[in-house]
Amino acid sequence: MVVVGSGVAGLTAALRCEAAGLTTVVVTKARLDDGSTRWAQGGIAAALGDGDTPEQHLDDTLVAGAGLCDEEAVRILVTEGPDAVRRLIATGAHFDESAEGGLALTREGGHHRRRIAHAGGDATGAEISRALVDAVRARGLRTVENALVLDLLTDAEGRTAGVTLHVMGEGQHDGVGAVHAPAVVLATGGMGQVFSATTNPAVSTGDGVALALRAGAEVSDLEFVQFHPTVLFLGPDAEGQQPLVSEAVRGEGAHLVDADGVRFMQGQHELAELAPRDIVAKGIMRRMRERNTEHMYLDARHFGAEMWERRFPTILAACRAHGIDPVTEPVPVAPAAHYASGGVRTDSRGRTTVPGLYACGEVACTGVHGANRLASNSLLEGLVYAERIAADIAARRGGQEPPA
């Protein structure tokens, strides 16, 4: 099989297929660790804390999705999620621990409980990417880096037969080639670079959705592009990838304020700054229009230097690199394109409408996110649905009935 993409979804699918005895090739447009996963700051959501349940996680996800989630898809996510996180830890990912020795859990927007596991304070994606890339290399999976996948190959019956690609980069043959396989997994990430300002890396240009459309696959909900409320404001002319200021900063008690220090989200939602992202982003934009300004502020001066350095070292460094010190001054923030909630339509096993073509992660539309993704559900969705895809491919190659 061929996995296109090297984030949490793609590498998880590849590792699970390899473990099932399937010959697997990973193809990625840049390096193995250049996808969106390593930029994820806040963490991964799952009902892992005392008193928390998958049902409560389900309720928060459905509310955030504004009535447009597929409830059964969400139920799969929240039910299978905790064990998927435990398997990720077994693969080698190290998460931050509490003083008692369990996972340190935080809150983010839309969550009524602390259920966000994080690593390195605010470097969760980087740690997950490191663990999965290390596992791929340790197990000797074949990888093709610096290769842009162009189109899906199909046989006479219209089934997937592999992909064509353009290999480029130092030390590799520069040209067009093909990888033949009876199953292809698209895990190419999002399309944030379509917008002038985004949190997405340069590789997030919608390639997977474009390939799927050319192959005749159905797509869904492409209009539901989530804007993250708090992205470091670098000026009105700033373009491309902008530094993210994780929702976990608000989860730990930071406040959104205007230039006069007024907390404008109070009274707009029961969770104030921790309302679902669409509500907070609209609240910020509304206040910006009212005050005729280009940004608002995130005030976490009350954290103190020690907490900033321990809990949010990545964000602290990014802010200071741009001349802003969150320890002593509020951080200017504004919304920017962040996550594609829609994508290539799949069923509960990650299958698209083209036989043999699968999709998972941000490129896919599983129905989990509805109109607005609940914070930190993205890494979990990549894990859970990648594992389901691997199980389906393995079962089909073995002539068995796929798992439910």
Please state, in angstroms and rounded to a whole number, the distance separating the CA atoms of residues 207 and 149.
8
* Average confidence (pLDDT) over 171-198: 90
pLDDT at position 171, please?
A: 56
3-state SS class at 11: helix
Do 77 and 368 touch, CB atoms closer than 8 A? yes
- Angle, CA of 281, 283 and 286, to the nearest 5°: 110
Convert the pLDDT of each residue in 350-381 to its tens digit.
999 999 999 999 999 999 999 999 999 999 99
Question: Where are the domains positioned within the chain?
Answer: 2-224+341-397, 226-336
Helices (H) and strands (E) in the chain, counts: 10, 20
3-state SS class at 176: strand
Provide the whole-model pTM: 0.94
pLDDT at position 51, please?
A: 94
Q: Which CATH number among 3.50.50.60, 3.55.40.20, 3.90.700.10, 3.40.50.2300 corresponds to the domain 2-224+341-397?
A: 3.50.50.60
Report strand pairing: 364-365 vs 197-198.
unpaired
Contacts of 182 (CB under 8 A, 6+ apart): 1, 159, 160, 161, 356, 397
The pLDDT-based confidence of 283 (bands split at 50, 70, 90) is very high
Amino acid letter, residue 247 = E
The residues assigned a catalytic role are: 277
Task: With a cut of 70, say whether residue 44 has pLDDT above it.
Answer: yes
Is 226-336 assigned to CATH 3.30.70.3270? no
pLDDT at position 175, please?
A: 84
The pLDDT-based confidence of 33 (bands split at 50, 70, 90) is confident
Angle between helices 377-397 and 71-91 (to 10 degrees): 90
The pLDDT-based confidence of 400 (bands split at 50, 70, 90) is low
3-state SS class at 283: helix
pLDDT at position 58, please?
A: 98
Convert the pLDDT of each residue in 82-124 to its tens digit.
999 999 999 999 999 998 889 999 999 999 999 999 999 999 9
SS3 content of the chain, % helix, strand, coil (to 5): 35, 20, 45
Among 104, 157, 97, 130, CA closest to 11: 130
Please give the mean pLDDT across all residues of the chain: 95
pLDDT at position 34, please?
A: 86
Convert the pLDDT of each residue in 241-276 to its tens digit.
999 999 999 999 999 999 999 999 999 999 999 999
DSSP state of 37: G
The pLDDT-based confidence of 173 (bands split at 50, 70, 90) is low
Contacts of 223 (CB under 8 A, 6+ apart): 342
Report strand pairing: 175-180 vs 116-117.
unpaired
Phi-psi region of 10 (alpha: psi -120 to 50; beta: other; left: phi over 0): alpha
